[in-house]
């Protein structure tokens, strides 16, 4: 459906993400959404940092599956600007 309608797909499912590459569909994950909110100034740096730290807690509590390394990169980046 995303391909037919030329939509961007939001997914963390590895199989689906691999299929999007083969099908030429643009696919992003949850962290991209947060990054876009920051980049488009819809979140302040403080709001972004708070939100990303909450994601980290959810990952550490096994409530969400997201790449911890990528979350930590974002936290370090924001804390050092």
pTM of the model: 0.86
pLDDT tens-digit map of 1-60: 999 999 999 998 999 999 999 999 999 999 999 999 999 999 999 999 999 999 999 999
pLDDT category of residue 81 using cuts at 50, 70 and 90: confident
Coil/strand/helix, residue 18? helix
pLDDT category of residue 61 using cuts at 50, 70 and 90: very high
Q: What does the block give as tokens for 8?
A: 């961007």
For residue 29, give the DSSP letter: -
Count of domains for the chain: 1
Which domain, by its residues, includes 7?
A: 2-79
Cβ atoms of 60 and 67 closer than 8 Å: no
């Amino acid at each position: 459906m995303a391909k037919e309608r030329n939509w961007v797909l939001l997914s963390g499912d590895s199989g689906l993400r691999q299929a999007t590459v083969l099908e030429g569909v643009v696919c992003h994950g949850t962290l991209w959404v947060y990054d876009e909110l920051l980049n488009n100034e819809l979140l302040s740096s403080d709001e972004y940092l708070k939100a990303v730290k909450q994601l980290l807690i959810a990952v550490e509590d096994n409530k969400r599956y997201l790449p911890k390394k990528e979350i930590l990169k974002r936290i370090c980046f924001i804390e050092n600007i």
